């Protein structure tokens, strides 16, 4: 049975909650969730069976800190998100969106090898992304280029895009 560990970190968007799964032999955790304050459909506090272990999540904290400082444009972490095969394909496609660029939901469907008709299902998978910021769902826009929903709020999405364009912080 695996152990879920957690830590928190301060960010420009408030206190982030990070959780991860420890490998059976010990060591660094594979990142499972990154949650922002007020994020829809996500735990705002650690679950009762999670264990506080900042050391096991030190690398994700360091990489997120560097990202917010404008010193990092991608993440290199072991990941352990939980989701259906379809959602995992969509989440993996998010990793293909370059830093500072955006795609539409239709383009994301294409990146994931899905039909453009799957755009609503793709939107649902994007909205359920458990790895906020690390898996850049904030880079997905409406078909007309508009800022559409974001689990942590459209203002947070706007600020992340501004950070990546060099106009924030």
Residues designated catalytic: 137
CB 159 within 8 A of CB 166: no
Nearest partner of 64 among 165, 163, 167, 143, judged by Cα = 163
Report the chain's C-alpha Rg in angstroms: 16
Nearest partner of 67 among 114, 12, 17, 6, judged by Cα = 12
CB 38 within 8 A of CB 152: yes
Nearest partner of 129 among 152, 110, 160, judged by Cα = 152
């Amino acid at each position: 049975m695996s152990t879920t560990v957690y830590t928190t970190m301060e960010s420009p968007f408030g206190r982030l909650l990070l959780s991860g799964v420890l490998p059976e032999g010990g060591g660094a955790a594979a990142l499972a969730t990154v949650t922002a304050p007020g994020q829809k459909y996500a735990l705002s506090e650690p679950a009762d069976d999670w264990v506080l272990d900042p050391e096991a999540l030190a690398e994700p904290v360091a990489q997120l800190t560097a990202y917010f400082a404008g010193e990092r444009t991608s993440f290199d972490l072991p990941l352990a998100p939980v989701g259906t095969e379809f959602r995992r394909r969509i989440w993996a496609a998010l990793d293909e969106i370059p830093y500072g660029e955006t795609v539409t939901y239709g383009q994301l469907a294409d990146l994931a090898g899905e039909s453009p008709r799957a755009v609503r299902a793709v939107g649902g998978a994007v909205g359920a992304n458990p790895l906020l910021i690390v898996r850049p769902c904030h880079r997905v826009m409406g078909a007309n280029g508009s800022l559409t929903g974001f689990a942590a709020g459209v203002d947070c999405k706007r600020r992340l895009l501004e950070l990546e364009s060099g106009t924030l912080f």
